[in-house]
Structures are given as C-alpha cells and as structure tokens.
C-alpha cells in the first residue's frame, strides 16, 4: 500500500515566559485593559450590557471584575502583558490579560489557561490559516483535541457525548476560545465573518479528548508532532458528520463504510475552491478494537478510508470536473477527499455503545497544529 | 444592584494608514498587474476586458493567478509567486473578493502590494464591500482603494458579465486614480 510522508513536526522545546521575582515573590502586575463601570452583581444585567458593547455571544456572562481577573492570573503565574499571539483578522495583541478576562466571562477555570494558550498558539500559526477561517462564508470552527493526563484534571470529556452534551468544563474552555476569537481576533458575523449559516460550535467550540486508554493507536499528538503527554491539536472543521453502521463486522468493512460516507461532492475536500484538505475521523473504541485486530497498521487504516472516500469523477458536473482536472485532482477517474492517505487523521473517542463514527470535514488548506500544554509552576 | 468596574475583553490594533496610497496616474508605459483567482471565472472575463483597455492606452498587462492554498509548501510557493509578481508590476489590481476567505486573501494581497508602494486597488463584489473595508482597516490600512462590482457575478454567463465589465470600467479608473491618456488629469 502507498505510504504517506511524515507529517509536520512541532517538537521544539517550549520556553514559557514565567514570572521570576526572586524569593520575595511578585506583586500582581498592573492590568492595562480599559475599565468600564456597570452593574456587576446581576449577571443578566451585566450580560445585557456586555451584549450592547459587542462582547457577548448571547449566553450569560460573568462580569470580569478586576478581582476576578487578578485571581485568575494569580493562579497562573504569567505576566499579564505577555503577548501570546496575534489572531487575524485584527492581529491585535492577544495578551495573557485578555485571555484571563474572556475566560472569566466564559466561566472557565483558572487551571485551563495553559490549555487555552496552547490552543491559541496553534490557531495563530500561519499554516492554520485562521485568517481564512475567520472571514469565510463557511461554518468552519477550530476543533480542539486534547491529549494527556490534563484531560482528567480539567474534566475534558472523551467518552459518551464527548463532542457535545457531556457536562464538563470543556464547554467553558471552548467558549473562552470562541470569545477570544470574537473579542480579540475580531470575528463578528456579518462584519468580518461572512459565514452564511455559522455553526452551533461557534458558541462553545468543540473541545474534547482522545480516549487514549482505549485507543489501539498512539495518542494523536504523539503521532502528529512527537509530543508525549499534555497537548492540544487544533483542526479547522466544518462540523460533525455522523456515520452509523449497524451491519459491518470486520475492520475493512467498517473502514469502507466510513470512507464511502465521507464522500460527497459538497464537502470542502472535494471542492475546487480548496487545493487540499485534511479529513479527521473519530472512531469509537469498540470499532477501533475490531479495526486494529483486522488492520493492525494505522497507515493501512488511513489508506483504506482514503481509498473509499472518493467520488467517481463522471458524477460531477462538467464545470466542477474541469476545475478539479486543472488542479490534477482526478486520479484514475476518481477525486479523493484528501490529496494523500496521510491526511486522513484517525482518532479514538466516544461511548462504548459504538455503532457510530464521526467525520470532521475540513475547511481545507488549514493544516492541523499540535502544541504541548505547558503548565505554570503551581500547576505541576 | 451594585455598580462596579469590569475590564474590557476586546483588543484592537492601534496603527492605521488612512491614505489610499499613490494614484496609478497615466497608464501608458506602465505595467498593470491583475491578480486573478482560480475560483472566479467572471473575474477572469472582466480582467480580460479591462486589460484590453489598458493595453490600448499603452500599458503592458500581466496576470497572476492566486488560489486558496496559502499554507504548507503550497502556501510557500504561492507567497513566492506573489512576491515575484509584485516586483514585476507598476500598478496592482487585486481581485476578486467574492466570498469570505477569498475576500480575506484579496485584501491581504492588496495590502502586500500597497505596502510596497504600488498604486493598488482591490476589487470586491458588493455583498463583500463592508468585509473588504473592515479587513483593510484591521490590516492597518483603512484607506485601501476598493472598487465594488455588482453581486451576484460569478453565477452569470459570459454574455451577462461582459456588459458589467464595460459599465464599471470608468469607476475602476476613478478608484485607481488612473488615466488612459498621457495627461495627468484623473478621470471623473
């Protein structure tokens, strides 16, 4: 079988700009954000005020008072004015302080800041193409996949209902990232974002873990970037696509069903507007075990999904086909969801009821980014 | 009910260039570069018609076709091509902002051209007018010249698009600050 080439690596040692004030310790830094006087005891009144300011997403918001923000920062031991990244289209400074303010508003725990920072760093990588994601007519959102023990420490779901519905802190963590995209990156529907329909995931994101203990494969972050332990991977997804299979019994049968279900002309991976795309697939632990039994090599798993995730070129309209042919995307009369099998990204998560897989069609051209989660000293 | 102070969660960039940049001026003897896009055939047809007008006025015309693959090795190739293209022209016409992400890249490429001091005009369709201006401002150049074409456009047949090219040509010259004659007087 054809083998994919090695994926992009991000294995360089991460150096975090932790505070070092000597034995005497530090006083909390001055905060530089503008302050606004408003109602702070009544959440609903504050939420109405925040919506008027353009800060909100429609759900109740916790007032980001200086005391709350300082408490959040104090638990993390990072300089408030440290610039983590620049998020397009605004490209303004995304500082630790802005992250803390938005996290307080979203109700995220202070312990989640290293995870949020790692996710933002991944999203800010030019190869993630957040510039396109934030402006597009598509409903795309950055999905955040978590690996390592931090899944349990932060209550990140990876079993039943992990993509939505499981009660967990991942909702507030995902909401923080979405508020930062709104308030710092400047993504506003109808203004800087032309998203035609949007997506429910644009409110609280999709933050979930891989069920590493049940997965027959190495953790995704390790496979993707050689990072063992706590890590996040961000992936630009168009949403979740359910794939049911109550019939298959063998690994190749499940993989054929998954692959064929992913193949429809309106997916971005088949669009001439996108020269390439990745294709993430979440496989439940029951199927994963069967698949691994019958197809032990993960590259063969990717290849089988890829082979079936293709469309007969003759089923496309002539104009559609002409554009794809001009991009050399037609191979032996078929068009594939990704250019190479290596771009089929397989993960294991979900409940033990099995019966379903989830496809995450990509926006296309945004390359999945994986970053280590580096905790502050009090969080070791 | 208690009043108190909350911290502003938003961030904005503080720098902005409000100038539209240099006029294109008389086009005779200059090289006008069209940035095309692999998605929008209607923009190809319009560019062909405008290019013929520019050539008739004594300009040379170059075309460069962008696409959405701006990441990885493909993205590096596109960035190199864009750099070479901008180095080879005197006036930039950058289109087409006709979807969300492609408006984003249209504006970003136009900002790259303007940053090199080239007389630069981005072209968007009217649904993406505000997005284009918002992105230009967020890119630090709110004064970027943007010419607006009607929408929908790419959904039309060639014989329907050609009149649009002719109808919007004078407006394009005005936005560019360009003249077809040797005179330095601007159109309009």
Interface test with A, best of B1, B5, B11 (most A CBs within 10 A): B11
- The answer to whether B72 contacts chain A (CB < 8 Å) is yes
- The answer to whether B155 contacts chain A (CB < 8 Å) is no
Instruction: List the structure tokens of A121.
Output: 């760093």
Instruction: For A70, name the nearest residue in chain B, comparing CA atoms only.
Output: B7
In a domain, A34, yes or no: no
Instruction: List the structure tokens of A279.
Output: 């294709």
Question: Quick check: helix, strand or coil at residue A38?
Answer: strand
In a domain, B18, yes or no: no
Interchain contact, A179 vs B39, CB within 8 Å: no
In a domain, B160, yes or no: yes
In a domain, B1, yes or no: no
pLDDT, residue A1, reads 30
Residue A264's contacts (CB-CB under 8 Å, 6 or more residues apart) are A270, A311
In a domain, A27, yes or no: no
Whether A279 and A262 have beta carbons less than 8 Å apart is answered as yes
Alpha carbon distance A287, A285 (integer Å): 6
Residue A54's contacts (CB-CB under 8 Å, 6 or more residues apart) are A188, B10
Q: Number of structural domains, chain A? A: 1
Of A66, A105, A137, the CB nearest to B5: A66
Which helix (H) or strand (E) segment holds residue B148: the answer is strand B145-149
Q: What distance separates the 2 farthest-apart alpha carbons in chain A?
A: 73
In a domain, B123, yes or no: yes
Which of A26, A94, A47 has its CA nearest to residue B11? A94
Interface test with A, best of B5, B40, B101, B142 (most A CBs within 10 A): B101
Q: To which residue do tokens 């002409």 refer?
A: A322
Instruction: List the structure tokens of A40.
Output: 């702070």
Interchain contact, A183 vs B38, CB within 8 Å: no
pLDDT, residue A197, reads 96
Alpha carbon distance A69, A50 (integer Å): 16
Alpha carbon distance A352, A160 (integer Å): 7
Alpha carbon distance B106, B114 (integer Å): 12
In a domain, A233, yes or no: yes
Supply the range of the domain harboring residue B49.
32-178
CATH code of the domain containing B45: 3.40.50.10140
Supply the range of the domain harboring residue A66.
43-375
Alpha carbon distance A143, A234 (integer Å): 5
In a domain, B188, yes or no: no
CA angle, corner A142, sides to A141 and A148, nearest 5? 145
Task: Supply the ipTM of this predicted assembly.
Answer: 0.88
In a domain, B23, yes or no: no
All residue ranges of chain A with pLDDT < 70 are 1-29, 376-380
A307-337: per-residue pLDDT in tens? Answer: 999 999 999 999 899 989 988 999 999 999 9
In a domain, A9, yes or no: no
In a domain, A380, yes or no: no
Q: Between β-strands B3-7 and B145-149, what pairing exists: parallel, antiparallel or unpaired?
A: unpaired
Per-residue DSSP letter, A200: T
Instruction: For A63, name the nearest residue in chain B, comparing CA atoms only.
Output: B6
pLDDT, residue A12, reads 45
Tell me what the pLDDT averaged over chain B comes to: 93
B39-52: per-residue pLDDT in tens? Answer: 899 999 999 999 99
Band (B69; pLDDT cuts 50, 70, 90)? confident
Alpha carbon distance B24, A308 (integer Å): 53
In a domain, A21, yes or no: no
Residue range B40-66: mean pLDDT, rounded: 97
In a domain, B5, yes or no: no
Alpha carbon distance A194, B98 (integer Å): 10
Residue A80's contacts (CB-CB under 8 Å, 6 or more residues apart) are A28, A29, A30, A31, A32, A73, A95, A96, A97, A100
Alpha carbon distance B166, B162 (integer Å): 7
Alpha carbon distance A253, A256 (integer Å): 5
Instruction: For A96, name the nearest residue in chain B, comparing CA atoms only.
Output: B9
Q: How many CB pairs below 8 Å do chains A and B form together?
A: 169
Whether A183 and A120 have beta carbons less than 8 Å apart is answered as no
- Residue B121's DSSP bridge partners are B93, B145
In a domain, A30, yes or no: no
In a domain, A294, yes or no: yes
Which chain A residues are within 8 Å of B2, Cβ to Cβ?
A: 39-41
In a domain, B50, yes or no: yes
Which chain A residues are within 8 Å of B102, Cβ to Cβ?
A: 273
Instruction: List the structure tokens of A46.
Output: 């504050």
Q: Number of structural domains, chain B? A: 1
Q: Is the pLDDT confidence value at B187 over 70?
A: no
């Amino acid at each position: 079988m054809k083998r994919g080439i090695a994926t992009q690596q991000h294995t360089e040692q991460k150096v975090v700009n932790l505070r070092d004030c000597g034995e005497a310790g530090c006083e909390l830094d001055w905060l530089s954000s503008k302050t606004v006087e408003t109602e702070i005891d009544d959440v609903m009144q504050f939420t109405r005020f925040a919506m008027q300011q353009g800060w909100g997403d429609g759900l109740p918001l916790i007032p980001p008072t200086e005391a709350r923000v300082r408490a959040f920062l104090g638990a993390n031991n990072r300089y408030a004015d440290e610039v983590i990244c620049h998020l397009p289209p605004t490209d303004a400074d995304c500082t630790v302080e802005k992250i803390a303010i938005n996290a307080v508003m979203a109700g995220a725990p202070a312990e989640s800041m290293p995870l949020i920072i790692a996710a933002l760093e991944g999203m800010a990588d030019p190869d993630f193409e957040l510039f396109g994601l934030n402006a597009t007519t598509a409903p795309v959102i950055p999905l955040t996949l978590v690996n390592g023990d931090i899944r349990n420490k932060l209550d990140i779901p990876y079993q039943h209902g992990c993509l939505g519905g499981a009660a967990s802190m991942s909702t507030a963590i995902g909401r923080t990232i979405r508020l930062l995209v709104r308030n710092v990156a400047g993504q506003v529907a109808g203004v800087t974002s032309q998203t035609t329909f949007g997506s429910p995931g644009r409110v609280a994101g999709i933050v979930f873990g891989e069920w590493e203990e049940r997965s027959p494969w190495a953790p995704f972050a390790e496979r993707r970037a050689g990072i063992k332990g706590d890590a996040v991977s961000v992936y630009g997804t168009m949403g979740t696509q359910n794939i049911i299979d109550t019939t298959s019994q063998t690994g190749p049968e499940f993989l054929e069903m998954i692959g064929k279900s992913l193949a429809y002309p309106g997916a971005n991976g088949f669009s001439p507007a996108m020269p390439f795309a990745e294709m993430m697939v979440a496989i439940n632990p029951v199927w994963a075990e069967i698949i691994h039994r019958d197809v032990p090599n993960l590259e063969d798993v990717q290849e089988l999904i890829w082979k079936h995730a293709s469309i007969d070129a003759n089923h496309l309209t002539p104009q559609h086909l002409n554009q794809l042919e001009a991009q050399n995307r037609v191979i032996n009369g078929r068009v594939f969801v990704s250019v190479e099998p290596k771009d089929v990204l397989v993960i294991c998560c979900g409940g033990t009821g099995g019966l379903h897989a989830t496809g995450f069609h990509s926006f296309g051209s945004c390359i999945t980014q994986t970053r280590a989660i580096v905790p502050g000293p009090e969080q070791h | 009910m208690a009043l108190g102070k909350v911290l502003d969660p938003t961030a904005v960039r503080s720098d902005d260039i409000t100038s539209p940049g240099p006029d294109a001026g008389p086009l005779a003897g200059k090289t006008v570069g069209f940035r095309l896009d692999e998605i929008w055939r209607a923009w190809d047809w319009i560019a062909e018609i405008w290019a013929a007008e520019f050539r008739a006025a004594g300009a040379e015309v170059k075309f460069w076709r962008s696409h959405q693959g701006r990441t990885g090795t493909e993205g590096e190739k596109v960035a190199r091509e864009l750099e070479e293209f901008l180095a080879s022209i005197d006036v930039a016409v950058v289109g087409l902002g006709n979807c969300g992400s492609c408006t984003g890249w249209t504006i970003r490429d136009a900002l790259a051209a303007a940053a090199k001091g080239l007389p630069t005009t981005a072209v968007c369709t009217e649904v993406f007018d505000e997005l284009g201006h918002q992105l230009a401002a967020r890119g630090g150049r709110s004064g970027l010249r943007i010419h607006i074409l009607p929408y929908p456009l790419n959904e039309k047949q060639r014989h329907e698009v050609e009149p649009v090219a002719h109808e919007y040509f004078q407006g394009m010259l005005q936005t560019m600050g360009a003249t077809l004659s040797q005179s330095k007087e601007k159109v309009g």
